[in-house]
């Protein structure tokens, strides 16, 4: 006898429907799984055997073959345990075959039959819905995540026995309710650092507001302890809220790496990722035998903070250029090429020199001029070109640090940021670019027109500061955002003069 059950498997960020076929034939007892299973799928045999027996059901003592189709898709992970168990029970005639036409099943089994949560449930639910299936069965702890997808029925048993009783109609389970709402995110923002808790550093705070408003990457430079890290952390608190589509997109990424909260699966706050410079290239950009998203994808629609920027290996930094330009990273494998989204706001921080105290008014620097130069040259020009805001962060005096005058709260700043984003949305309504920071040369020409007075200022700046064409465009992009923050249609002199302050100071232009 044979049977067919539908399950799903994650490839990249999406899931595919997989058919799990079981065939039971006469012959010596054996249990074989074919169809590109990985080691975890192979081991399903042992878990399924024990789980079925310990649930009090009969395990067939004949020749069992499980086929996972399509054969050319790699099957990964422990999520096939439950569909394999059900396929077996259906093939032995213990469950009616016609129950499974419209059903997608996924879940890991413990030896005692208990169902364990698995990663990737959200993409599986999306795939199930897309393929027109009506019902999705997931482990109990994955219920809320699955229920983020509207329009598909979710049942979430705690163990194999409960599910079998449901299937044979002895004890029906209740359906999970859809929960596709974003609670007002302010309650979720408590983990963020509020701008009001950072003393002084008005210049850096203003730059962060511009960065958030126009999606401009930012580089902080300053001695250790000056507050670069705390400033970067505060950025996430002033970024615009995620809308539901964006929240689902980010949640899908975290679903795949198994980093969702079972109770509150929908991520409604923007991610803040802070990988260390010793992290491997794969963990930063993504990849592996079964390619997984890296830090830059986990930072999608949020902040990627690279502290001690020059210490990152050069080849890793060079890989960042692609996502900084296109918002995606392509990962090529032997047989396939995967795309992971990676539209993040880059905040980089560096010390001015290896010891950290170059040009510090109080503490002497112990680096040689060659060391300083070498350190400053570590980041390549093309990469620096993608960073619009270059900000010096000086060490605060004790008085300033302890004065705690606070200043504006993150919520106030965020409302200006959201207003400026609205203006940009209208400006770029017809094209892919969403923000000023992502404008290419042509768009800069179109949207950053200068009047005669401003032209003169720019001409003077280009001549006297020897600005490159790239630097020129960078300044205009920033000026556009400053104007938007003031709801000004035209770039005014004050906007341009402020934008000029954020260009890099030394060697690089």
Residues of this chain that bind ligand ADP (CB under 6 A): 198-201, 222, 224-230, 396, 401
User: What's the closest the beta carbon of residue 349 comes to Mg ion, in angstroms?
Assistant: 6
User: For residues 199 and 468, which CB has a smaller minimum distance to ligand ADP in the complex?
Assistant: 199
DSSP string, 274-308: ---TTS-HHHHHEETTTTEE-HHHHTTTSEEEETT
93, interface contact from ligand ADP, Mg ion, none, CB < 5-8 Å by kind: none
Q: How far apart are CA 155 and CA 99, in angstroms?
A: 14
User: What's the closest the beta carbon of residue 279 comes to ligand ADP, in angstroms?
Assistant: 18
User: What's the closest the beta carbon of residue 221 comes to ligand ADP, in angstroms?
Assistant: 10
Give the distance from CA 258 to its chain's centroid: 13
In terms of C-beta distances under 8 Å and separation of at least 24 residues, what long-range contacts does 286-292 make, across chains too? 286/329, 286/331, 286/340, 287/331, 290/38, 290/74, 290/76, 291/12, 291/331, 291/333, 291/338, 291/340, 292/256, 292/257
Give the distance from CA 476 to its chain's centroid: 29
DSSP string, 127-179: HHHHTT--EEE--GGGHHHHTTSTTSEEE--SBHHHHHHHHTTSSPPPPPPP-
395, interface contact from Mg ion, ligand ADP, none, CB < 5-8 Å by kind: none
67 binds Mg ion (CB under 5 A): no
Beta bridge partners of 273: 304
User: For residues 351 and 443, which CB has a smaller minimum distance to Mg ion in the complex?
Assistant: 351
326, interface contact from Mg ion, ligand ADP, none, CB < 5-8 Å by kind: none
200, interface contact from ligand ADP, Mg ion, none, CB < 5-8 Å by kind: ligand ADP
Per-residue binder mask for Mg ion (CB under 5 A), 438-457, x = binder: --------------------
User: For residues 54 and 229, which CB has a smaller minimum distance to ligand ADP in the complex?
Assistant: 229
User: For residues 251 and 351, which CB has a smaller minimum distance to Mg ion in the complex?
Assistant: 351
Assess whether the previous peptide bond of 70 is cis (omega < 30° from 0): yes
* Segment interacting with Mg ion (CB under 5 A) among 226-234, 288-296, 311-319, 366-374: 226-234
User: For residues 173 and 401, which CB has a smaller minimum distance to ligand ADP in the complex?
Assistant: 401
Q: What contacts 124, CB < 8 A, 6 or more positions away?
A: 8, 10, 15, 79, 104, 106, 136, 138, 146
Picking from 374, 346, 347, the residue whose alpha carbon sits closest to that of residue 358 is 374
User: For residues 77 and 356, which CB has a smaller minimum distance to Mg ion in the complex?
Assistant: 356
Picking from 234, 203, 198, 218, the residue whose alpha carbon sits closest to that of residue 498 is 203
In terms of C-beta distances under 8 Å and separation of at least 24 residues, what long-range contacts does 225-229 make, across chains too? 225/395, 226/393, 226/394, 226/395, 226/396, 227/198, 227/201, 227/393, 227/396, 228/307, 228/349, 228/393, 229/305, 229/307, 229/349
> DSSP secondary-structure letter at 100?
G
User: What's the closest the beta carbon of residue 359 comes to Mg ion, in angstroms?
Assistant: 18
User: What's the closest the beta carbon of residue 181 comes to ligand ADP, in angstroms?
Assistant: 34
CB nearest ligand ADP: which residue? 227
11, interface contact from ligand ADP, Mg ion, none, CB < 5-8 Å by kind: none
198, interface contact from Mg ion, ligand ADP, none, CB < 5-8 Å by kind: ligand ADP
User: Which of 62, 65, 229, 371 forms a contact with Mg ion (CB under 5 A)?
Assistant: 229
Cβ neighbours, 10 Å, residue 276: 13
User: For residues 21 and 308, which CB has a smaller minimum distance to ligand ADP in the complex?
Assistant: 308
User: What's the closest the beta carbon of residue 498 comes to Mg ion, in angstroms?
Assistant: 26
36, interface contact from Mg ion, ligand ADP, none, CB < 5-8 Å by kind: none
> DSSP secondary-structure letter at 188?
G
434, interface contact from ligand ADP, Mg ion, none, CB < 5-8 Å by kind: none
User: What's the closest the beta carbon of residue 356 comes to Mg ion, in angstroms?
Assistant: 10
251, interface contact from Mg ion, ligand ADP, none, CB < 5-8 Å by kind: none
User: For residues 44 and 211, which CB has a smaller minimum distance to ligand ADP in the complex?
Assistant: 211
Whole-number Cα distances in Å, 55 to 63, 112, 159, 176: 21, 7, 9, 24
User: What's the closest the beta carbon of residue 151 comes to ligand ADP, in angstroms?
Assistant: 45
Q: How far apart are CA 20 and CA 1, in angstroms?
A: 14
* Segment interacting with Mg ion (CB under 5 A) among 170-178, 204-212, 223-231, 444-452: 223-231
Q: Per CB under 5 A, which of residues 312..341 are in contact with Mg ion?
A: none
Give the distance from CA 414 to its chain's centroid: 21
Residue count, binding to Mg ion (CB under 5 A):
1
480, interface contact from Mg ion, ligand ADP, none, CB < 5-8 Å by kind: none
- Applying CB under 5 A, the residues found at the interface with Mg ion are 229
């Amino acid at each position: 006898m044979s049977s067919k059950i539908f399950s799903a498997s994650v490839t990249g960020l999406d899931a595919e429907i997989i058919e799990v076929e079981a065939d039971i034939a006469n012959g010596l007892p054996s249990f074989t799984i074919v169809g590109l299973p990985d080691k975890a799928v192979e081991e399903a045999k042992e878990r399924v055997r024990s789980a079925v027996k310990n649930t009090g059901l009969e395990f067939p003592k004949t020749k069992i073959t499980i086929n996972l189709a399509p054969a050319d898709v790699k099957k990964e992970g422990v999520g096939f345990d439950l569909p394999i168990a059900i396929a077996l029970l259906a093939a032995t005639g213990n469950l009616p075959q016609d129950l499974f036409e419209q059903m997608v099943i996924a879940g890991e089994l413990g030896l005692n039959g208990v169902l364990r949560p698995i990663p990737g449930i959200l993409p599986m639910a999306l795939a199930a819905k897309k393929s027109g299936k009506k019902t999705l069965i997931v482990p109990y702890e994955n219920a809320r995540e699955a229920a983020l997808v509207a329009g598909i029925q979710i049942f979430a048993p705690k163990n194999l026995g409960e599910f079998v009783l449901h299937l044979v109609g002895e004890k029906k389970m209740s359906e999970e309710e859809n929960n596709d709402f974003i609670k007002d995110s302010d309650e979720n923002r408590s983990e963020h650092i509020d701008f009001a808790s950072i003393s002084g550093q008005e210049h850096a705070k203003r730059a962060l507001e511009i960065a958030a408003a126009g999606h401009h990457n930012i580089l902080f430079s300053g001695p250790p302890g000056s507050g670069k890290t705390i400033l970067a952390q505060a950025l996430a608190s002033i970024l615009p809220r995620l809308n539901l589509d964006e929240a689902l997109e980010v949640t899908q990424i975290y679903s795949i790496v198994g980093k969702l909260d079972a109770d509150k699966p929908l991520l409604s706050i923007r991610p803040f990722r802070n990988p260390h410079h010793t992290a491997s290239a794969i963990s930063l950009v993504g990849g592996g035998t079964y390619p997984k998203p890296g830090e830059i994808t986990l930072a999608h629609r949020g902040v990627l903070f690279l502290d001690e920027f020059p210490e990152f290996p050069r080849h890793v930094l060079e890989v960042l250029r692609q996502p900084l330009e296109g918002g995606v990273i392509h990962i090529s494998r032997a047989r396939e090429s995967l795309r992971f989204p990676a539209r993040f706001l880059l905040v980089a921080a560096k010390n001015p020199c290896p010891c950290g105290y170059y040009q510090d008014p109080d503490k002497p620097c112990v680096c040689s001029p060659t060391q300083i130069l070498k350190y400053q040259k570590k980041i390549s020009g093309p990469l620096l070109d993608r960073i619009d805001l270059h900000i010096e962060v000086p060490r605060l005096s004790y008085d300033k640090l302890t004065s705690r005058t606070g200043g504006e709260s993150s919520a106030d700043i965020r409302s200006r940021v959201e207003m400026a984003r609205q203006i940009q949305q209208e400006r770029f309504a017809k094209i892919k670019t969403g923000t000023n920071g992502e404008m290419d040369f042509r768009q800069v020409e179109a949207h950053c027109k200068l009047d005669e007075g401003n032209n003169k200022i720019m001409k003077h700046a280009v001549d006297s500061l020897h600005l490159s064409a790239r630097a020129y465009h960078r300044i205009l992009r920033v000026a556009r955002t400053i104007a938007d923050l003031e709801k000004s249609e035209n770039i005014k002199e004050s906007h341009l003069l402020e934008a000029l302050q954020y260009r890099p100071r030394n060697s690089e232009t």
